[in-house]
Chain A
């Protein structure tokens, strides 16, 4: 009898250990330790919607500058059109990271900013006379024949001076420019209109800690955009980090290359401002401080400062920079890679966030 007691006791303990193991392994039910609703509200109202609205405004200016130019084709109006184009391109840099919902579904980023542009095919379209505006929407494979990089080619790539670029424009060129600008405008309008009151409310109320929750969606796209669209596309690929040779022809704004650094600078400022939060709104920085992880916040700020410093040290013309001293860009790549480390480990785990999009495993 006594022996049996031992036996029953041991069974109970076994059972207990089984149960406790089981609950230990359940690490997925946890939510966030901070006020997600406030964060999401601030993101929508202070960053996402105002910045998309601002991009919409600059795009409207681009449309009207084109209309002015089309009616009155002077060098002066051409210069004004180019200026409007570049302002729209700059404001696009800020919103490219909001690649979710409508923007994701319509491949907004891809249709507006795929480079290098396929200038050969654009020339063919223009020369053939068979081109129609619908061609640009017909397939995702048309991404590299439109958007801002196509305008860069058509505004800066047909000649070597402003006058030559202006004089090279035929009626067919202008028709093509018109189609490209209309498409930039309609896609931007579609994204802008998608943020109606209902969408805002849905975004804010989606406080789930699952991968489809707004916190994780925003974080994932923020990190993915930084890796793919800022680090890789603007820096690492042209600098030759991913290839045997440097690839100066893969820079953004290849034809107006003297403006290429401005785009990098703007995109990274957009990255920083979202991290810090605009107008006292809640941000990743505030969240880290709020949970007592100012150490991570300070590290982030320090890394961001280092990247700005390295960007300030390079030529405004990234093509020239790659051709003369690509290592300066490789240094920016390295600094950006360190920043990715902070995002993907420190911030991800301390704020209980998730990354959805993985690097390709290359097999």
Chain B
């Protein structure tokens, strides 16, 4: 916020500046700047930012809608439960994942919404790169397929699964591991943090909000047919919905925003993200597109940073726990399976300075190879240098330190 408010105020006030008001405005500007170190510095301008993400039309009806995002996030929840349930079939899961049908929670069926279609599906990164989009969809789908063919479909119950070991699929400390010690359910869930949520937010909906056509429609008050919101407002809400649309039970990005903010080195990042969403939406209402664009930049930066920080965190925790791996302790494998997913998610991050991901798919794949070659995680026991190398490269890219992120 510190970095941000003075320049925002500059823009806001400069737009309105005239000789009559210049002196008082400048004084106000000083005062605002001085107080801007406070996290909750009020933004006094024509933009009215509510305390919560609540925006109403003239008749008091909410103009916020993101039910499609909530549906998808809840579909993910049920699929994650299935990924640890013996007896689930490939057909069952494929129906849920790719068709959006067959859910036990029937409200999730027949909505036309699917998780699969929104994986690696952003305008900016994948619209003109269907090849890579298909590759990513296939990779993520393979985590489901393999979990079923290797484990859930191969045994009747957890008790029947043999002990996992080097190169051998099985269970260890009740965790279901592939032949490289990786948990497919974790790889799936944490990859979706980037491939579904982050990509849709930073490379799709926030991007659309920068489109002059939608901004002009918004300025003209053109509403979506039979709705009380503009297209621009709706796109912003859809971005918001991917983060906050299932907040009570979130398994994807929101969950990790909260966890990263619990680290004192990143305290307040959750508030900064929410504030940017609120301010951006209020700026749309106020038709102040400079402020809107600044919030897009802030969100791309901070949301990407959450992925980077969490990737480092799991690599470092996994490293510390590798010395403890035994028949009764698989926590290092769990950490590194989560780490796998967060590294995978790096390819969906968005660096506002380059409008490209902080790490390309090729770089991500090269990192992941260290976790999957030969006996995979088993081979890292007593041999953890590579985890530090990867951590340190990620840290540098995001302008943090391994120390800050790793504990």
Contact = CB atoms under 8 A, between A and B. Distances in A.
Contacts of B34: 13, 17
Contacts of B172: 141
A267 B311 CA distance: 35
Provide the main secondary structure of the chain B interface: helix
B407 A104 contact: no
A273 to B, nearest CB: 24
Contacts, number: 118
A358 interface: yes
B328 A354 contact: no
A194 to B, nearest CB: 13
Contacts of A2: 23
Nearest to A2: B23
A18 B1 CA distance: 10
B406 interface: yes
A7 B33 CA distance: 13
Contacts of B265: 28
B327 A118 contact: yes
A106 B321 contact: no
A360 B19 contact: no
B325 interface: yes
A15 interface: yes
Given A14-B33, A28-B401, A105-B382, A360 B334 contact: yes
B165 A211 contact: no
Interface in B334-368: 334-335
A140 B326 contact: yes
B22 interface: yes
B27 interface: yes
Contacts of B2: 17-18, 21-22, 25
Interface in A1-50: 2-3, 6-7, 9-11, 13-15, 17-18, 20-22, 24-25, 28
B366 to A, nearest CB: 24
Nearest to A4: B22
A143 B37 contact: no
Contact of B26 (A10, A224, A356): A10
A18 B19 CA distance: 26
B248 to A, nearest CB: 15
Contacts of B383: 105
Instruction: Give the interface centre of B36, B378, B406 by most chain A CB atoms within 10 Å.
Output: B406
A357 B317 contact: yes
A25 to B, nearest CB: 7
Nearest to A360: B331
Contacts of B326: 110, 114, 140-141, 143-144
Contact of A211 (B22, B26, B166, B402): B402
B37 A20 contact: yes
Contact of A14 (B22, B29, B317, B320): B29
A139 B166 contact: yes
A7 B165 contact: no
B192 to A, nearest CB: 14
Contacts of A354: 403, 407
A60 to B, nearest CB: 25
B403 A210 contact: yes
B6 interface: yes
B327 A21 contact: no
Given A10-B27, A211-B402, A110 B19 contact: no
Contacts of B328: 114, 144
Nearest to A220: B320
B259 interface: yes
Nearest to B259: A361
A358 B318 CA distance: 10
A7 B22 contact: yes
A141 B330 CA distance: 10
Interface string A177-211: 00000000000000000000000000000000011
Interface in B1-21: 2-3, 6, 9-10, 19
B382 A106 contact: yes
Interface in A98-147: 99, 104-107, 109-110, 114, 118, 139-141, 143-144
A144 B327 contact: yes
Interface in A295-329: none
B163 interface: yes
Contacts of A6: 22-23, 26-27
A355 interface: yes
B369 interface: no
Contacts of B9: 14
A7 B26 contact: yes
Nearest to A102: B382
Which 4 pairs across A and B sit closest by C-beta, in order of nearness?
A: A21-B2, A14-B33, A14-B6, A6-B26
Given A6-B22, A105-B383, 18 more contacts: A2-B23, A3-B19, A13-B33, A13-B34, A14-B30, A17-B6, A17-B34, A18-B3, A18-B33, A21-B36, A28-B403, A110-B324, A114-B328, A141-B172, A211-B406, A354-B407, A358-B317, A360-B334
Interface of A: 2-3, 6-7, 9-11, 13-15, 17-18, 20-22, 24-25, 28, 99, 104-107, 109-110, 114, 118, 139-141, 143-144, 210-211, 220, 224, 228, 354-358, 360-361
25 contacts: A3-B26, A6-B22, A7-B22, A10-B29, A13-B33, A13-B34, A14-B30, A17-B37, A28-B401, A28-B403, A104-B323, A105-B383, A107-B325, A110-B323, A110-B325, A110-B326, A139-B165, A139-B166, A141-B165, A144-B327, A210-B401, A210-B403, A356-B407, A357-B317, A360-B331
Interface of B: 2-3, 6, 9-10, 19, 22-23, 26-27, 29-30, 33-34, 36-37, 163, 165-166, 172, 259, 265, 316-317, 320-321, 323-328, 331, 334-335, 378, 381-383, 401-404, 406-407
